[in-house]
Amino acid sequence: MSPGPRVAALYDIHANLPALEAVLRDVREAGIDNIVVGGDVVPGPMPHETLACLLDLDLPAQFIRGNGEREILAQLAGSETSTVPERFRPLLRWVAGQLAPEHVRTMAGWPPALQLEIDGLGLVLFCHASPRSDTDIFTRQTPAPRLLPLFAGLEAAVVVCGHTHMQFDRQVGGVRVINAGSVGSPYGEPGAYWLELGPQVRLRHTRYDLPQAAARIRATAYPGAADSAERDVLHPPVEADMLAAFSRAESV
């Protein structure tokens, strides 16, 4: 009996096209059958190019919406939300202006979550942050009792999430909760993080040419290009620092 399809979960790309290109090479070399893109493809320095790359894939791909897409769509609808700090709003406006109309229409149709049956894992729910919200904050250190209400009553045996840009694989009650990490804006060791599913779970880390990627990002007209090249590529925030920061900001 042949093994069932394997799935790559790519989360929080943040329009870092060089990181995405490197991950897609690894995905193809691994013989992955299907891709789930878990939200926050944008914002970031190469939004048009990144969306075009994903939408033209020669592999089956399914998409869910993250808070990044939600905010960009709100920006395009003229309903800028107060949840985005003022310093980030020029970045969202720039990104919104880069997107082709067909990409906007496609993005608007992405659901907040999806479910797939995966051999060896059973029913897997993919969401951006949690089954409840696309902005819930929790990490591998968040006490399980605080998370139980988020994952109670689910049909799925496994939940795959992102949003906090750090991988983990933990149990919350009867549900296995896995964070895929961030392809384009990681916290911790530089590189691109993603997830391979079926029949086992593999937390993947792809290394790529960081100086070249930083140069490509700096060459864009993105208002935050210099900061993105430094923070997302060359010298990401230290994981311990981000765990401490998220602990103070946890929303569960």
| Domains of the chain: residue spans and CATH | 7-249 (3.60.21.10)
pLDDT tens-digit readout, 193-204: 999 999 999 999
Mean pLDDT of 119-141: 96
pLDDT tens-digit readout, 131-167: 999 999 999 999 999 999 999 999 999 999 999 999 9
pLDDT tens-digit readout, 34-46: 999 999 999 999 9
pLDDT at position 82 = 65
Exposure on the CB side of residue 23, measured as CA atoms within 13 A: 32
Contact of 183 with 39, CB cutoff 8 Å: no
Structure tokens at 125: 């729910």
CA separation, residue 184 to residues 64, 108, 171 (Å): 17, 22, 26
Q: Supply the DSSP symbol for 233.
A: I
pLDDT > 80? residue 3: no
Mean pLDDT of 107-116: 97
pLDDT tens-digit readout, 54-66: 999 999 999 999 9
At residue 86 the predicted structure's pLDDT band, cuts being 50, 70 and 90, is confident
Those residues with Cβ within 8 angstroms of residue 23's Cβ, 6 or more apart along the chain or in another chain: 8, 10, 183, 192, 194, 206
pLDDT at position 59 = 93
Q: How would you write 69-97 as a 3-class SS string?
A: HHHHHHHHCCCCCCCCCHHHHHHHHHHHH
Closest among 98, 37, 101 to 63, alpha carbons compared: 37
pLDDT at position 2 = 47
pLDDT at position 1 = 39
**What is d(CA 230, CA 88) in angstroms, rounded to the nearest whole number?**
17
pLDDT at position 88 = 77
Angle between helices 67-76 and 89-98 (to 10 degrees): 80
Mean residue pLDDT of the chain comes to 94
Structure tokens at 248: 């103070």
Contact of 140 with 250, CB cutoff 8 Å: no
